[in-house]
């Protein structure tokens, strides 16, 4: 019969896409309908997401899909973690949500940490304290904008916000909330105690739903505007990392780690429950929820962001380089003479990365890269070394030996990064799928619609999408 048709809307920190998925009961196929930039805007010295433009682009994608295909059954949005918008009591969006790289949290850090020390935050929530976390942002909003207490009725995490704009339904999906630093790790519910000590009203948080919940339908007026019929709105694994991990074609979950490569690199393993101990805290690990309720023990590494910003700099200087060209130059450059810690705060905000990398090398008394190729190679090798270091710590934390690493996400198109990771970790890499978040998004929708048994998802991905294996070449070691 007719395949089931669904739309995945996957919003990353630098671009978004509307993907059409078709499932005929055997194979899942995906088609990119619309891709758009996600460019944050700085206004009045604060960094914001352009949500109206993003919603406009989503609509453009849906309209384009509807022109070619009828009977689009459902849609679901996944986004990066931690960010949110406010809705007032009339259902209106209050203002353009802040970007997690906005610096307003810095001034409130010590006040927050005086009330709830970082180690206690970790022990309660399983989340690694970080200035970008929802809890830091929300606390700063409450301190710096007292009027909010009177106007903000509901807080919607980014994907929940888009689901609300599509359906009119306000919900709090658990995977995205598990990035907030506000959920109690054990119960998965907002921590009443934490909220109270920070003076934040629990009433801001709408009804919680698990990943894979049909929350409503596209609003009638929007159906008309978009030229679509009735379409379900599904709260999927709405955190992009949760979606990406839902797409991993595990051969055997035991001994398998993952690296999700996008703007960020997320390095971790699925575990049955949160792993909360002093070492995990010290090593900088965090615990987030997966689709199906299991736990993801992982570390956030500032990933290809550094390369993206580097590329942006060169482009602004009138010397743009394609990705292919970047990889070619980095290969030709040979092994890097220096290394950076990608998680150094120096690389956390937008700016002139080539200059900051030189600065870092100067401070650490290393050779400064002289050519573009050397600089790119330094970034990629530094990432691979930090993956390797993180995987060793994962082994120490879990007591498991990692035998295979699944790399997923757009970053795996950089085959030099995959090969360097195989070489430096000495482990086999299975790379794929590339469109991991979109594919995971579609899988969760299929499960929510009762069309797929979640235990079969890995097989479906294996049948449907090519994976590439990289073997360690040997010779390179840490």
Subset of 154-193 contacting ligand LFR (CB under 6 A): 179
Nearer to ligand LFR, 344 or 428 (CB): 344
Give me the least distance between CB of 139 and ligand LFR, in Å please. Answer: 17
- Spatial separation of the C-alpha atoms in residues 182 and 177, rounded to whole Å: 8
Least distance from C-beta 25 to ligand LFR, angstroms?
31
CB of 305 to ligand LFR, least distance (A): 10
Question: Cα–Cα distance between 156 and 357 in angstroms, integer?
Answer: 37
Which of residues 13 and 457 has its CB atom nearest to ligand LFR in the complex? Answer: 13
Residue from 80, 86, 139, 166 in contact with ligand LFR (CB under 6 A): 80
Q: Please work out the total of residues on this chain that contact ligand LFR, with binding judged by CB under 6 A.
A: 15
Q: Which 8-state DSSP code applies to residue 108?
A: G
Binding of ligand LFR at residue 303 (CB under 6 A)? Answer: no
Catalytic residue among 10, 78, 160, 240: 240
Q: How far apart are CA 274 and CA 288, in angstroms?
A: 8
Site string for ligand LFR, 36-75 (x = CB under 6 A): ----------------------------------------
Q: Tell me which of 300, 302, 438, 441 binds ligand LFR, using CB under 6 A.
A: 300
Q: Which is nearer to ligand LFR, 23 or 136 (CB)?
A: 136
Cα torsion through 116, 122, 125, 128, rounded to 10: 110
Q: How far is the CB of 290 from ligand LFR (least distance, A)?
A: 12
User: What is the C-alpha separation between 64 and 297, in angstroms, rounded?
Assistant: 38
Residue written as token pair 């990289």: 470
The tokens describing 304, both together, are 């290809």
Q: Is 240 assigned a catalytic role?
A: yes
**Taking a C-beta distance cutoff of 8 angstroms, is the pair 260, 244 a contact?**
yes
268-282: b (≥16 Cβ within 10 Å) or e: bbbbeebbbeeebbe
* 247 touches ligand LFR by CB under 6 A: no
Regarding 291 and contact with ligand LFR (CB under 6 A), the answer is no
Q: Is 259 in the site for ligand LFR (CB under 6 A)?
A: no
Nearer to ligand LFR, 63 or 101 (CB): 101
245 vs 378, which CB is nearer to ligand LFR?
Answer: 245
The secondary structure of 271-324 as a DSSP string is: ESS---SHHHHHHT-EEEEPTTS-EEEEEEEE-THHHHHHHHHHHHTT----HH
> Which CB sits closer to ligand LFR, 333 or 408?
408
| Residues contacting residue 97 through CB under 8 Å, at least 6 positions apart | 48, 49, 51, 83, 84, 85, 158, 161
Q: x/- site string to ligand LFR, residues 8 to 37, per CB under 6 A?
A: ----xx------------------------
Task: Report how far residue 442's alpha carbon sits from residue 77's, in angstroms, rounded to the nearest whole number.
Answer: 10
- Considering only the stretches 217-225, 260-268, 362-370, 455-463, report the one whose residues sit in contact with ligand LFR under the rule CB under 6 A: 260-268
Q: Is 82 in the site for ligand LFR (CB under 6 A)?
A: yes
As a whole number of angstroms, the distance between CA 185 and CA 274 comes to: 7
From candidates 16, 81, 206, 348, binder to ligand LFR by CB under 6 A: 81
Please say which residue, 174 or 241, places its beta carbon nearer to ligand LFR. 241
Q: Which is nearer to ligand LFR, 19 or 460 (CB)?
A: 19
348 binds ligand LFR (CB under 6 A): no
User: Is 241 one of the binding residues for ligand LFR (CB under 6 A)?
Assistant: yes
Count the neighbouring beta carbons within 10 Å of the beta carbon of residue 372. 18
Residues 6+ apart with CB under 8 A from 286: 126, 127, 128, 297, 298, 299, 300
Positions 95 through 114 that interact with ligand LFR (CB under 6 A):
100
Instruction: Return the residue of 165, 234, 266, 436 that touches ligand LFR, per CB under 6 A.
Output: 266
**Which of 267/361 has CB closer to ligand LFR?**
267
Here the contacts of 18-24 (C-beta below 8 Å, separation 24 or greater) are 18/57, 18/58, 18/60, 18/61, 18/62, 18/64, 18/65, 19/435, 19/438, 19/441, 19/442, 20/65, 20/69, 20/72, 21/438, 21/439, 21/442, 21/445, 23/442, 23/446, 23/451, 23/452
Stretch of 20-28, 162-170, 238-246, 369-377 lying at the interface with ligand LFR (CB under 6 A): 238-246
User: Quick one: which of 141, 240, 270, 374 contacts ligand LFR (CB under 6 A)?
Assistant: 240
Q: How many whole angstroms separate alpha carbon 307 and alpha carbon 375?
A: 9
The two structure tokens encoding residue 89: 């009591």
Q: Cis before residue 170, ω within 30 degrees of 0?
A: no
From 80-88, 272-280, 392-400, 461-469, span contacting ligand LFR (CB under 6 A):
80-88
Contact residues toward ligand LFR (CB under 6 A) are 12-13, 80-82, 100, 179, 239-241, 262-264, 266, 300
Catalytic positions: 240
């Amino acid at each position: 019969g007719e395949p089931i048709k669904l739309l995945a809307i996957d919003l990353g920190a630098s671009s978004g896409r509307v993907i059409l998925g078709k499932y005929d009961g055997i194979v899942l196929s995906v088609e990119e309908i619309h891709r758009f930039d996600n460019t944050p805007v700085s206004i009045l010295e604060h960094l914001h997401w352009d949500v109206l433009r993003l919603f406009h682009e989503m609509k453009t994608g849906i309209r384009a899909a509807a022109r070619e295909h009828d009977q689009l059954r459902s849609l679901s949005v996944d986004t990066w973690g931690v960010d949110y918008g406010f809705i007032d009591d009339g259902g209106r969006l209050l203002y353009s949500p802040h970007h997690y790289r906005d610096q307003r949290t810095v001034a409130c850090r010590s006040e927050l940490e005086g009330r709830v020390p970082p180690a206690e935050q970790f022990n309660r929530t399983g989340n690694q304290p970080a200035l970008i976390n929802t809890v830091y942002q929300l606390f700063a909003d409450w301190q710096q904008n007292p009027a909010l207490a009177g106007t903000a009725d509901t807080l919607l995490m980014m994907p929940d916000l888009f689901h609300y704009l599509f359906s009119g339904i306000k919900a709090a999906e658990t995977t995205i909330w598990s990035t907030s630093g506000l959920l109690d790790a054990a119960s998965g519910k907002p921590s009443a105690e934490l909220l109270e000590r920070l003076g934040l009203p629990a009433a801001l948080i709408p009804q919680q739903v698990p990943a894979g919940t049909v929350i409503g339908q596209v609003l009638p007026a929007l159906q008309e505007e978009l030229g679509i019929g009735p379409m379900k709105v599904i709260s999927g694994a709405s955190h992009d990392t949760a979606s990406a991990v839902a797409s991993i074609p595990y051969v055997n979950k035991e001994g398998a780690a993952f690296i999700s490569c996008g703007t960020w690199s997320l390095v971790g393993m699925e575990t049955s429950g949160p792993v909360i101990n002093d070492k995990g805290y010290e090593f900088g690990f965090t615990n987030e929820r997966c689709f199906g309720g299991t736990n993801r023990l992982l570390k956030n590494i500032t990933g290809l962001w550094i390369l993206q910003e580097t590329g942006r700099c060169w482009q602004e200087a009138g010397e743009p380089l394609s990705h292919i060209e970047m990889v070619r130059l980095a290969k030709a450059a040979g092994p890097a003479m220096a290394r950076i810690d990608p998680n150094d705060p120096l690389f956390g905000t937008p700016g002139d990365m080539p200059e900051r990398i030189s600065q870092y090398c100067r401070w650490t008394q290393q050779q400064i890269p002289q050519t573009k190729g050397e600089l790119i190679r330094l970034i990629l090798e530094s990432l691979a070394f930090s993956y390797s270091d993180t995987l060793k710590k994962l082994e120490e934390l879990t007591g498991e030996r990692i035998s295979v690493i699944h790399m997923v996400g757009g970053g795996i198109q950089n085959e030099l990064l995959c090969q360097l990771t195989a070489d430096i970790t000495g482990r086999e890499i299975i790379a794929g799928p590339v469109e991991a978040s979109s594919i995971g998004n579609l899988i969760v929708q299929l499960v929510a619609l009762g069309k797929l048994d979640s235990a079969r998802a890995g097989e479906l991905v294996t049948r449907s999408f090519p994976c590439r294996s990289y073997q360690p070449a040997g010779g390179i070691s840490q």
